[in-house]
Amino acid sequence: MRLVVARCQVDYAGRLTAHLPMANRVLMLKADGSVLIHSDGGSYKPLNWMSPPCKVREGVNDEGQVEWVVTGKDDDTLRILIEDIQHDTSHDLGVDPGLQKDGVEKHLQELLAEHPATLAEGLTLVRREYPTPIGPVDLMCRDADGASVAVEIKRRGEIDGVEQLTRYLELLNRDPLLAPVQGVFAAQAIRPQARVLAEDRGIRCVVVDYDALRGMDDSTERLF
């Protein structure tokens, strides 16, 4: 991973246009081919980013200014105009073992691995924590027709989870033994914006009843 602290201006052009005026920011260039731009606020979310795979070309523009041009797989671009670099280091983080989940999310994964047909009729489990170059997808399954289905499980379904599953699907679909791989985004609750994004990308959303899965809530005994 390369970490750069720089005073920079960022312009994105692609499905829409976006502009970040000149300011101090952190630029993250990750080994998976992604580029993220952070400020000192806004919690963990980057101000702008480019999903992998992408290419970074460092050079000088016609005005003699240092400029990085990041090109994505759909020819969208991030132009990073750099006024001053205050810090520039690279670090080899090695192979990440993946997120060790606990609590409800971990239990949800265990329960759905035992009962994948609750997500879709005829769905069967191939493997939990199926590896990809950027981390494991929660469940790899096959549907009734034998097609591959990747399942990402969250306690709360948000846009970040959809983006995560999208990246997994991009990589999994490069494997001719798996492709085409469908995506299922499963959570106890899914935000409307996340659902819209998922469905736009052909990912099916499933709201999971955790208590029913645990056998604590029998829907046949409900009055309402």
Report the phi/psi class of residue 22: left, alpha or beta, with left for phi > 0 and alpha for psi in -120 to 50. Answer: beta
Cα 2 to the center of its chain, rounded Å: 20
What CA–CA distance (Å, rounded) separates 134 from 33?
A: 10
Sequence-distant contacts of 109-113: CB under 8 A, at least 24 apart: 109/138, 109/139, 109/153, 111/210, 111/213, 111/214, 112/138, 112/139, 112/151, 112/153, 112/186, 112/208, 112/213, 113/139
Lowest-confidence segment of 14-28, 39-53, 184-198 by average pLDDT: 39-53
Kindly state whether residues 50 and 108 are assigned to the same domain. Answer: no
Out of 63, 90, 117, a domain closes at 90
**pLDDT greater at residue 43 or residue 223:** 43
Residue 222 lies in a domain: no
Kindly state whether residues 173 and 85 are assigned to the same domain. Answer: no
Q: How confident is the model at residue 47 (pLDDT cuts 50, 70, 90)?
A: very high
pLDDT digits (tens, 9 = 90+) for 53-112: 889 999 999 999 999 999 988 889 999 999 999 999 999 988 776 655 545 678 888 999
Kindly state whether residues 108 and 188 are assigned to the same domain. Answer: yes
Residue 220 lies in a domain: no
Kindly state whether residues 6 and 79 are assigned to the same domain. Answer: yes
Kindly state whether residues 49 and 142 are assigned to the same domain. Answer: no
Residues 6+ apart with CB under 8 A from 93: 1, 31
Kindly state whether residues 75 and 21 are assigned to the same domain. Answer: yes
Range of the domain at 139: 103-213
Domain count, the chain: 2
The CATH number of the domain where 82 resides is what?
2.70.180.20
Out of 58, 90, 122, a domain closes at 90
Out of 27, 56, 90, a domain closes at 90
Residue 72 lies in a domain: yes
pLDDT digits (tens, 9 = 90+) for 14-36: 888 999 999 999 999 998 889 99
